[in-house]
Amino acid sequence: MRITVIGTGYVGLVTATCLAESGNHVFGIDKDEAKIQILLNNGLPIYEPGLLEMVQKNRREERLKFGTDLEAAIRQTKLVFLAVGTPQSDTGDADLRGIWAVGEAVGRILNKLQAEGDTSKRILIIKSTVPVGTNRELTERMKAMGCTLFEVASNPEFLKEGAAIDDFMKPDRVVVGVRSHETAEILRELYAPFLRTERPFLVMTPESAEMTKYAANAMLATKISFINEMANLCDRLGADINDVRRGMGHDVRIGFQFLFPGAGYGGSCFPKDVRAVMAMGRKMELPLPMVEAVDQVNEAQKQVLPTKIRQHFGDSLAGKFIAIWGLAFKPRTDDIREAPSLVLIESLLAAGCKLRVHDPEALNNVKQIYGDQLIYCDRPYGALEGADALVIVTEWQEFRNPDFEVMRRLMRNSVIFDGRNLYEPRQMESLGFTYYGIGRGRSKPESAN
């Protein structure tokens, strides 16, 4: 098939590339000329493991092309994916100005093509995360422009940053919201190569498809906030949340996924989508206390590490050298949107600390915010030189088995605040570290007991 994908951000770029990988001819279109130039120069505007190689391969084989000319792309294609950003507005709603602008642009092009005698029907497929009713409103807006030969379908994405290619190529399920059997069958054919292991292709109304995305993310965010709340209670009661988590997760009704305590969730999806659900509830005058609590718990959780650090150092926190490992909101990405690390950095800077920070991918993004307020280290051990404490915020794989003897020699004080529970408290005790986990209390060095 010949396909246009509008938007070359995270979702659009992964979608365009994976569809090209399965043999389709795909045009990736974006109004941001700088972003397109990066792609034309064989670079990527984002970091996602394995994506660069796949983009370059499909460009070489001429199945994937990038540009800014939307009309030229639509003239050659029948399927048009909308993958533009829908950021959170000041009220918590999704900002749909990008969707409406693209719909208007596509509508003008379709009217022009129809006037020229092109009677081919185009299918617009909303890949962006949008509130329930967006599909219907976009349809009505385009009809008001005089467009007739089109249909708007909904096809929410379920991509995890850091594992997006696998998620697209081997999906748990594909959800489509359509108003005609014909469109459902076209999309079924498009996704057939990705569903050969009998994963389901779920057809429903656009409204249900739109809601599925939000409900799924709200459920996952709920699991994270719940286990974080239990971890905080374990800290007070002397229980170990890791043991509790294992005791819970082996119940098949609960499972282990998203049941890891930490410093709070971040990123471009969970915070925004949870608040969008809250906004939809307010519009319908329907209270959603559980969803609201999920957001409140998560925002409070981002203060857990700063609180532990203040309690440990007391009045002597000002002037301390603190090392931070992990700035991205999760491993295998450079995304720092809503990252717990930013809350930590703000708190420690306000307390007068000096910060040395390391992240395998997100250093440049953080530098754009903080400039010379921080010391940026290319290597994790470089951040530890003279440090009064280490704070781990992101569970990058390379942090899991460091050389603790080297760490002790480099650090001024052997104190670790582990926001992802990477290490075992008893091991840290035996190695001479004062160790704080999440929901695991505080462990002192054996010599201090």
Give pLDDT, residue 441.
82
Per residue in 88-129, pLDDT (tens digit) is: 888 888 999 999 999 999 999 999 999 999 999 999 999 999
Is the pLDDT at 442 greater than 90? The verdict is: no
Alpha carbon distance 176, 202 (integer Å): 6
Binding residues for substrate: 158-161, 213, 258-262, 266, 330
Is the pLDDT at 4 greater than 70? The verdict is: yes
Give pLDDT, residue 41.
96
Alpha carbon of 399 to those of 16, 110, 331, 358, 379: distances in Å? 33, 52, 11, 11, 11
What percentage of the chain exceeds 90 in pLDDT?
A: 96
The type of residue at 81 is F
Alpha carbon distance 57, 60 (integer Å): 5
| Conformational region of residue 146, where left means phi above 0, alpha means psi within -120 to 50, and beta covers everything else | left
Alpha carbon distance 433, 449 (integer Å): 12
Give pLDDT, residue 446.
61
Alpha carbon distance 307, 410 (integer Å): 25
Give pLDDT, residue 92.
86
Give pLDDT, residue 12.
97
Give pLDDT, residue 423.
97
Domains annotated for the chain, with CATH where assigned, are 2-210 (3.40.50.720), 302-448 (3.40.50.720)
What percentage of the chain exceeds 70 in pLDDT?
A: 99
Question: Catalytic residue positions?
Answer: 269
Alpha carbon of 402 to those of 164, 235, 269, 420, 423: distances in Å? 28, 25, 31, 15, 10
Is the pLDDT at 413 greater than 60? The verdict is: yes
Do 81 and 154 form a contact (C-beta atoms < 8 A)?
A: no
3-state secondary structure of 200: coil
Per residue in 234-276, pLDDT (tens digit) is: 999 999 999 999 999 999 999 999 999 999 999 989 999 999 9
Tell me the average pLDDT across 364-376. 98
The pTM score is 0.93
Give pLDDT, residue 91.
84
